[in-house]
Structure 1
């Protein structure tokens, strides 16, 4: 099991501080690993193989000129969700790197946004190194505001030596 998935499982079930504070601590720690993610203050709500979910709080720091969540903040959230999914899903003998992102903005992001990343189990074990991760951002009312694909390049880890 990956270190990200292990840390998520431990932090989201901490008996002393509870799951809410534990998941907040995880979200903070995840953002420190890749500091740019901290700009959106992600709040992870689910991480498991082939699925990750987080919330981008709607606040002034992520607004555009319209007062909605900025398109690049949305992409940042999608990429953070994808990264957590990839770490939770990839077999131990493989590595990944993002190689592209294609998104469509479908509605105004006028509330907190839930960013979801999903894959299918077989995508991680096949011979094709191109792994498309389906991503979407959803408003509180269920409206999809951004959707697309983040393409990963998944290859065997080089032998240690």
Structure 2
């Protein structure tokens, strides 16, 4: 268990009503940019991460939906937090590839849900370096998937 997993495991012991707020505040302090955007960490375990973003004026584009880059942010955050939960403390996770296809107009609030398989987790935890494609679904308030995303994360030993 790495340091991040240890901290998040303790936060996950909080009552459900306080858990999301604590996770969001924690990641807002650790990842400064994420803390300024209004993302909410709804759930985070070693296997799954759910992040939401309300459609409010500060994140809207010219057609009134959540901006493309804000959708990229929730996908990158959900997949990155998940990889970060599993990478050993002697390694560092880095985004290698972000591919997003905007296939239809998003309506309302946005949600990103990322998953890792047992095989992916095993590779992240045991290989010195490598890469993994993290599954992520980006849905809107109508439960449609207006953005198709592919996120490839790599991990390498930390430099001394």
Contact 1:48/1:89, CA 8 A, preserved across alignment:
no
1:84 corresponding residue in structure 2:
81
Root-mean-square deviation (CA, aligned residues, Å) is 2.2
User: Cα deviations across residues 88-145 of structure 1 (Å, max 9, x unaligned)?
Assistant: 1224454321112011112222211111122223232458712111222111221012
User: Cα deviations across residues 136-159 of structure 1 (Å, max 9, x unaligned)?
Assistant: 21112210121221111223456x
Gaps in structure 1 of 5+ consecutive residues: none
- TM-score under structure 1 length normalisation: 0.83
- Distance (Å, rounded) in 1 between the aligned partners of 2:8 and 2:146: 27
- TM-score under structure 2 length normalisation: 0.83
* 2:35 counterpart of 1:32: no
Superposed structure 1 runs of 4+ greater than 3 Å apart: 91-94, 125-128
Deviation at residue 19 of structure 1 after TM alignment: 2.5
Tell me the secondary structure at the aligned position of residue 144 of structure 1. Answer: coil
1:145 corresponding residue in structure 2:
146
2:93 corresponding residue in structure 1:
96
2:58 corresponding residue in structure 1:
61
- Distance (Å, rounded) in 1 between the aligned partners of 2:71 and 2:13: 28
Gaps in structure 2 of 5+ consecutive residues: none
Contact 1:31/1:37, CA 8 A, preserved across alignment:
yes
